[in-house]
Amino acid sequence: MNESIRIKGNASVANVSCGFDCIGYAISDPGDIITLIRKNTPGIDITMSGFGSDSISCNPNNNTGGKAVLSLLDALKSNQGFKLHIEKGIPPGSGIGSSSASAAAAVFGANELLGNPFSLNELLIHGMAGEAVASGGFHADNIAPALFGGIILVRSYDPLDILNLPVPGNLFSSAVLPKMTINTMEARKILPEMVPLKNAVEQAGNLSGFTLGLHESDYDLLGRSMVDHFAETHRAKLIPGYEEVRGSALDMGAIGCGISGSGPAVFALSDSLEKAQLIGNAMVKQFKAVGLSSQAYSSPIHTNPPEILG
């Protein structure tokens, strides 16, 4: 068995407008790189480097990667100890699944070093235990795409039922990260406990339309369906210039555009890589107009699990 492993954990866009807490997709850049090394004593020793690493706890119980591995070891009743180094390529609090990327890569790497006692599906619950450290809630729309790749539908949380949605060949993502942070836990607290029945009906219709749009590669239907009646109006207030940024993406021909996860990143879908890059540039320009510098990442949907680098 190998003594160490390096894994790249993928960023992800959650909610995808109409799928609050139940739809997410993976992107390959940016990503977190984790290194796991077996040690002869129990416990997890964590070190961190990269974007925002000084804001993240190295206590394994308060670290998404550490907690995910602890959950896995607990299920195996294993005393195996690890050194875990997390190199953050994804800024924490940016809205593209920073905590999930670390949790997915860490749990995937630990499973590999232990001889794969769990299937990829079985790893999800441990990844979710890690993710909960950051979000304060049990949601899987970042961790599931980070672990499985592709576009994921969380059909049910209890019991957990995770479904792969089809990824049309010419579907591209732009994710723009303004230089500010939003704490997911706080961004969940501002949401109302209840939504009016009318909004729930609209959301159900849009979510169904979105999944059918993916099945049929019907981008008009996808675009019509990418409307959020649960979270966007509440969270848009936290992102300076959000409406203008969204407007700029739609003006450039985006299929749809919305807040990525709990923000502040804004994402858009489009039908070519060239368009995705132009849309990313337009959104960066709009953020600049309100005094925020930002970075755009344009790519196809990433369809694979975390990558083993060595």
Active site residues per annotation: 131, 184
Residue 94 sits in the site that holds ligand HSE (CB under 6 A): no
Residue 195 sits in the site that holds ligand HSE (CB under 6 A): no
Residue pair 120/148 in contact (Cβ under 8 Å)? The answer is: yes
From 57-65, 115-123, 136-144, 281-289, give the range in contact with ligand HSE by CB under 6 A.
Answer: 136-144
Positions 106 through 135 that interact with ligand HSE (CB under 6 A): 135
In DSSP terms, 25 is beta-bridged to 13, 151
| CA–CA distance, 162 with 286 (Å, rounded to integer) | 36
21 vs 112 by CB, closer to ligand HSE: 21
Residue 262 sits in the site that holds ligand HSE (CB under 6 A): yes
Give the residue nearest to ligand HSE (CB).
261
Residue 224 sits in the site that holds ligand HSE (CB under 6 A): no
CA 8 from centroid of its chain's CA atoms: 14
Residue 286 sits in the site that holds ligand HSE (CB under 6 A): no
**Binding-site member from 6, 39, 83, 188 for ligand HSE (CB under 6 A):** 188
Phi then psi for residue 108, to 5 deg, are: -65, -45
| CA–CA distance, 63 with 17 (Å, rounded to integer) | 28
CA angle 270, 273, 277 (to 5 degrees): 85
Count CA within 13 A, CB hemisphere, residue 87.
9
Residue 98 sits in the site that holds ligand HSE (CB under 6 A): no
64 vs 270 by CB, closer to ligand HSE: 64
Residue 139 sits in the site that holds ligand HSE (CB under 6 A): yes
DSSP annotation of 52 reads T
**Binding-site member from 5, 7, 11, 14 for ligand HSE (CB under 6 A):** 14
**Residue 306 host element (H or E):** none
Phi then psi for residue 114, to 5 deg, are: -95, 10
Shortest reach from residue 89's CB to ligand HSE, in Å: 17
Binding mask of the shown chain, residues 141 to 160, with x at each position contacting ligand HSE by CB under 6 A: xx------------------
From 13-21, 122-130, 202-210, 246-254, give the range in contact with ligand HSE by CB under 6 A.
Answer: 13-21
Helix-, strand-, coil-residue percentages of the chain, each rounded to 5: 40, 25, 35
In DSSP terms, 266 is beta-bridged to 176, 259
Strand, coil or helix: 117: coil
In DSSP terms, 81 is beta-bridged to 39
Number of residues that bind ligand HSE (CB under 6 A): 12
19 vs 150 by CB, closer to ligand HSE: 19
Which spans of this chain sit near ligand HSE (rule: CB under 6 A)?
14-15, 21, 135, 139, 141-142, 184, 188, 231, 261-262
